[in-house]
Every structure is written in structure tokens, then in C-alpha cells.
Amino acid sequence: MSEIAFFRRVAVTVIAWASGNSLFAGPGLAEIREADLKRDVYALADPHFNGRSAGTIDELKAAAWLAERYRAIGLVPAGDDGTYFQYFTLWRNQLSERATVSLDGAPLEMWRDVAVAQLAHATIDAPVVYLGPAAAVDLAAAEVAGRVVALEANPAEFNPAMSLPTWRYARSQYTKYGLPLLRRGAAAIIFVNDEVGEKCWDDSVENFKRGTYALEGDPNAAVTAVAPVLWVRAAAKARLQGGKAVLKATLGVDRYPYPSVNVVGKVAGTDAKLAAEHVLYSGHTDAHGIRNPIKGDRIYHGADDNCSADAALLACARAFVRHPGKRSVLFVIHGAEERGLFGSRYYAANPTVPAASIVAVLNGEMIGRNDPKTATLLGATAPHKNSDALVTMALAANAEGPGFTVETAWDSPSHPEGWYFRSDHLPYARLNIPAVMFTTLLHPDYHTPQDNAQNIDYAKLTRMTEWMYRTGWKVADAAERPAVNPDFKLER
Ligand SMILES: [Zn+2]
């Protein structure tokens, strides 16, 4: 070691010591600043990005903004063809704008009087068999083959403990009553709204309108169903109840490619050998775009979900650029997470570095809200824990730094949210890459326009970022990469 390097090292050690942090915990802690995090969240959650809906120009603009931040910070491009970008194609299926539905010759206005919950290429002109309340239908015996059947939604399926009970209400009816009838050959299913369904209508419709998305090459990319699932308003009940109603419907499906993009940058490691390995930090660009208004706002800004984590990644990037670790560090901000983890599924299948070189995935997902004292690490408890070593490092990083009370209940397979399966670490965990998700959990503004930059707790976000940075530093600088638990097996 040269004298200059020696004295620089002493100075860094003294500074780190003075701030209560050993070098081992991460020499770049001073690069994690609340002011930067706040500025970046405000910029990315700004209304001019229109809620960054996946596959739209708004998501692409936000991705370009992130790439420009990467460049300014000094990350090396690590996407395709020497750029920060990895583009991928989604296929989207949406109900044709020419679709029509009528009952007894009276047209129903699409999305106001009737909604199409399951797309199908179907032309129907048939009497409607009225089965009555869903809860009373004998799903194994009702004669439904080749018939159009109507049944009343069962409000007992409403789970107020869930976030978004709105469109998930319709899905729970579909799973419990719709699927068994479809399997037995029903030609179409009509759910008749109850009072809960009426309250959920606007949100359900926004989700149905989007249609379906799939990655190119996915066998499910095309709509193959022939039996549609419709919802009608409670007002249609009287007409259907008589048992003589006739449904006429022409339900075409439009199919078209949709572009999305991952934003990928890198800091090279300093160790001649370990630099070939990568610690992967993960976030996502997209939010929910422009939708039904709530409290006077139609833009679903997604400030906590997920500008908070993206800003944290930018801060960690500053820290690693200033003080690289032995291993290389990748920053992947995924596209199209909200539509089904498509960016992470694509990157995990088409990584821009060898998949075997990714030693850990540190995913941030909504990290700026709720009680300042608590936070959650998903993937920290069986059966979702896939690396004791990584979890030990993450918990030690918390103890040395922010000192959150770490909640573990959300890893339980019986937790109603099943949240482990709903963010971008999942496709990597499925490849047996050690993976955890840092989060401060759901809140009443989740997936509403009120998830905005004003409602973020920036002091807490700073401490969450510190936790993610300290964890990444430990992984980047460890002699051994974190081992995968040999018995790891997800419950679904
Ligand atoms: Zn999210």
C-alpha cells in the first residue's frame, strides 16, 4: 500500500468512525442523502409522467429520465447494445371497441351497464338461464353445457382485509363460481351485481378495460377462450330473473404489441476475481397511469409504488460509484411490474450478465410510508427464505444501521395478500438466486392517486435506503457469495 493510499484509508476510516459507521458497514453512507431522495421522488412522481403506465410513452419517458440519472451518477450502461435500455415486447389483448351487448334487444352501454371480465372471441344469440344467487348454485350439477347462465354475485366473497378489495372482488367470484361453470361447458357467464359489486364497479371496470398482457413467446399470449364472463349492474336483475331474457353479444378481441423497457446500469467491482459477480438492486418504473378519479385526481402517481425504491437505487448507485465494492453492482429498474412482473420475468430469462453471476437480488417495493419504527423484509421466513446467509446479512445491516423493528407476518403462506408473489424479486427467486424484498408495506393510498410525493416520509425512506445500501455493501464485499438454502421450495 502506498503512503498516499494509506493516509486516505486512515482518513476515510476516521470519518466513518466519527459518524458511527465502520468501513465494513459501507463507506458510501454519506452519499445517501434525504434531499436527493426527495428530489428524485418528486421528479419521477411528477404529474407530467401521467402515472407511468406500462407500455405507454409515459413509461418510456420515465425510463429515459432514469437512464439520464444513471448517466449523471456515473453508472456504466449495462442494458443491450451498450445502452442503459433493455427493451422487450408485451402482447396486449383488449376488448374490441366495436363490441356490442344487448338484453332482449335493448343495447347495454359497454363499461357503464355491462363489463367484460373475461375476453373471448364470441358471438352469442341465446336465452339466458337464470341460476339465482351464486351461493345457492349446485356447481357440480347445474346444467350449463352450451348455455348462457346468469347468477347473482355473493357478497360473502368480499374480503375487507385485502388491499384493493375492489376488482379482486370480481376475481374471487370468478374463481369460486365462474371457473367451475366454465369447466362444465357454459357458453357465457353473466354475474349480476350485488351492493358490493356496485361499489366496486368503477375500479373493476378500469381493470377489465385493460385486458390482458403477456410476454412475447408466452403460450398464453393469445386469447383462446370462447366463453366470455360478463358483469351487469344490479338493475338488470329483474329482466334476467324472469328466465326469458335473450342475450345478444358480439365480443371481438384486438391484439397488438406493446413495448416496455428495463433500465440497467452497473458499477464494476474492484476485485480481479469477484468483479465478475453481481449484486442486483431492483425497482420498477411503472405505476397505474390515468384512471377513474378519486378525491379529484385521476393520475395514479405511484410515488411510494415505486418511485421510493427507484430513488433509493439512485442513492445506492451514488454510494457504489464513489466507493465500489469487490463485486460488481447492477441496478435494474424494471418495466411493466404492475401488469404482471414482466420486466423482471424478461430480465431473469434474458439477463445482460450471466445469470449464474448474480449472487443476490435486493428488491425495493414501496419503502416510504407507515410507522417510522417498523419495516418488512420479505423472503426472510420459510418457505420464502431462499438464503439464510443473505437474510443474516440484511438483518445485521438493519441492526448496525436504521434499527427497524422487522415484521415477518407477511411471509406467511396463509397471509391474505400473498405479497411475496407480487414483486420483482420473484422471477429471480424462482431461478434459485438469493432474493429479498425490502418494504414498508401497504397503506390506504396504495394504487390510488393519493400515492403522491407529498405523502412520503422522507426520513424513513432515507433509513430504508441506508438499510438496502448496507445490505448490498455486505454482499458486494463478502469473501463468499450468499449460499442458497438447499431445501428452498415455494408453496406455489
Ligand atoms: Zn410496486
- At residue 394, the pLDDT reads 98
The mean pLDDT value for 77-98 works out to 96
The pLDDT of residue 17 is above 80: no
Whole-angstrom Cα distance, residue 335 to residue 424?
10
285 CA to middle of ligand 1, Å?
A: 9
Chain centroid offset of residue 204 CA: 18
pLDDT band at 163 (very low <50, low <70, confident <90, very high): confident
**Residue boundaries of the structural domains of the chain:** 14-92+257-477, 97-251
354 CA to middle of ligand 1, Å?
A: 26
Q: Which of 143-147, 221-225, 466-470 has the lowest mean pLDDT?
A: 221-225
- At residue 19, the pLDDT reads 43
DSSP helix/strand/coil, 135: helix
- At residue 182, the pLDDT reads 95
44 CA to middle of ligand 1, Å?
A: 14
243 CA to middle of ligand 1, Å?
A: 45
The pLDDT of residue 13 is above 80: no
Rounded to the nearest integer, the mean pLDDT of the chain is 93
**CATH numeric code, 14-92+257-477:** 3.40.630.10
pLDDT band at 408 (very low <50, low <70, confident <90, very high): confident
**CATH numeric code, 97-251:** 3.50.30.30
The pLDDT of residue 23 is above 70: no
The pLDDT of residue 24 is above 60: no
59 CA to middle of ligand 1, Å?
A: 14
The pLDDT of residue 2 is above 50: no
The DSSP bridge partners found for residue 333 are 263, 283
Secondary structure of 32-44 in HEC code, one letter for each residue: CCHHHHHHHHHHH
203 CA to middle of ligand 1, Å?
A: 18
The pLDDT of residue 9 is above 60: no
Over residues 455-473, the pLDDT tens digits come to 999 999 999 999 999 999 9
- At residue 266, the pLDDT reads 98
* Residue 1 amino acid letter: M
> Using CA of residue 73, residue 74, residue 79, residue 80, what is the dihedral sign?
positive
The pLDDT of residue 15 is above 60: no
